[in-house]
Structure 1
Amino acid sequence: MSEPMGPLGSAGRNLRRNIRRLREQRCWSYREVEERLSRAGRAIPALGLSAIEAGERHADVDDLVALAAVFDLGVEELLEPPANCDTCHGAPPPGFMCMECETSALPIA
């Protein structure tokens, strides 16, 4: 029996948004990403990809590495906040969360 999924943290939220953005920029369907992941050695079904993008499924480390390879990026790039957010540009004020992209910044200690 699997453990219930807890809420996504900021890295998980960034990942799901970046995957959707990259997939849509390339005009790839979920099926196309699924096929590319299979060729890369990490099968994630289209339904699983959809669930990752929706924040309903966590991506594990192996998923993350395969997704980075498929999109030809470094893992860290998939986890970065969305710099293209018109509201906060990926950098909300310390202690706040952008309501548009849901990026949050730690308060200043």
Structure 2
Amino acid sequence: MSETRRGPLGPAGNNVRRNVRRLREQRLWGYKEVEERLTRLGRPIPATGLSAIDAGERHVDVDDLVALAAIFDLSVEELLQPPADCGTCHGAPPRGFMCMECETSGLPNY
């Protein structure tokens, strides 16, 4: 089976990426710390993979999402929400617009 190439991250993927980065930085965890915590849960993501998630170069699959939520003691839904710490849009730009500061999209959630 061949691996298909994935397109750019959508709004939910970008929310997860920004939330993981924000939470990691708030806790002063390096990539190695996150890698170790995920490994203990049985869902290892190497530091290089975590760096790629931060950069928007790696998609987070459902199992990764569940593990990331667990290490940050959050629900999956909380990781999927727009980050509310943006000083420009507060995680909720107007419908149809994108915040140029945090890149949150004002698209409807389906």
TM above 0.5: yes
State the alpha-carbon separation in 2 of the partners of residues 5 and 53 from structure 1.
Answer: 16
Q: Which residue of 2 aligns with 1:15?
A: 16
Percentage identity across aligned positions? 77
Q: Which residue of 2 aligns with 1:34?
A: 35
Q: Which residue of 2 aligns with 1:99?
A: 100
Cα distance, 1:96 vs structure 2: 0.6
Q: Which residue of 2 aligns with 1:25?
A: 26
Structure 1 segments unaligned to the other structure (5+ residues) = none
Aligned length: 107
Cα distance, 1:104 vs structure 2: 1.1
CA RMSD of aligned residues (A): 1.1
**Do the aligned partners of 1:98 and 1:104 also contact (CA within 8 Å) in 2?**
yes
Structure 2 segments unaligned to the other structure (5+ residues) = none
State the alpha-carbon separation in 2 of the partners of residues 79 and 62 from structure 1.
Answer: 14
TM-score by length of 2: 0.93
Q: Which residue of 2 aligns with 1:83?
A: 84
Q: Deviations over 1:33-80 (max 9, x none)?
A: 000000011011010011011100001000000000011100011111
**Do the aligned partners of 1:5 and 1:57 also contact (CA within 8 Å) in 2?**
no
